[in-house]
Chain A
Amino acid sequence: MTNHETELEVQACLDRELSGGAMRTVEDLLSRDVEARALFEELRTTKSLVAENELEQKLPESREFFWSGIERRIKADEGLRRTAEVSEGRATSWLRFLAPAGALGALAIFVGMALWTPEKFSTAVAWDDSHEIETPLEETSSFSFRSEAAAMTVVWVDSHRE
């Protein structure tokens, strides 16, 4: 018996993890294969030795000291949770105020956009038909020209080279 899969089946048989048919196949193997039987016995002995002999551990701290650590952590966690709840509550109350204000703002923007016309806008601001912007630089200069009537912008760049 050299197959690892078979070894695992022998173990699964010991642990009662096989279905009826597979169980019978392994039991049959165990009845005729000495090596498989020896492995089964080794696994069985080890399993029961370990399972029945767990060492009982003793907590290396006194009841009071151990509990004080737990109590401290519980109170600290509860304090943190309370703080989080308070700030969450504040955030919620702010949201309660901000949500309608935001909705009103959005409505105002929407109404403003609906009433807005480019003509009004172009006269309202200083962009007339021939608006020029000068961009003074030491080595270069540029002028831009925007014509609302022609719906175009022209930019001149002058490098000052003769």
Chain B
Amino acid sequence: MNSESTNAVLLGGHLPPLQRRRFGALMTTVTMLGLAVILAQAMVVVKARPQDLITGIHGMADLLSRSVPPDFSSFPSQLWPALETLDIAIFGTLFGVILALPLAALAARNTAPAPVLYHGARAFIAVCRSVPDLVWALLFVTAVGLGPFAGALALTIHSVGMMGRLLAEVIEDMDMGPMEALASTGAGRLQIFSHAVVPTVLPSLMSITLYRLDDNIRSSLVLGFVGAGGIGFQLLTAMSLFDYRTVSLLLIMTFVIVIGAERLSSALRQRVA
């Protein structure tokens, strides 16, 4: 009742009752039509052909039958790429946070020493964040060659972008009191940062880092597709060799790693909170 009357005010409340109801119905129809048009153009653009799903069912069944049972005999040889995947994520997260923290201090209004540095840091963080990690990986593969190092660098840069922004927000939200108090004792700028800001934001810093690690593990699985090492690279190789039993093994490993990382990260985050 209440929302109806609100709608009436918004949509032709100046009209008499009968016309008002008709006006409402008209607006509903127009909205529905609009949504239908948007959906239709999306289906055309993505070339959606539902019938292909039905005719393709054989292909899928074939694929499935060829991928069971998973090829567990190759499991030991996949452990190294799995470790690579994890280490790419760990490298990217740790170096990401080491770079992001000082940048965040420059990019937070209350701790930035000069406007130039503030805007510079903000811009740098924005660039790191807005270029997807997969694109960074492609760039680094070109620069340092195929292999996990390219992936690790890509995740580092992307993490700086993601964590830098979050940390800057945390720093901007913190209580300025301890910083003022330290400034009044004659402490230097860096000392104020390391003795007042860092201890205060530490819990947020930990939880942002753990969350990022979880995200980075998922990204690092995909990075292999552009040649940046790890399980993704094995997956790409196995698929191009039509070795579907290895593919299914790798997917199981991926599943275990992703779920494990998610669980571990959330358990640790609850601890630091």
A and B held together in a complex:
no
Interfacial residues, chain B to chain A (CB-CB below 8 A): none
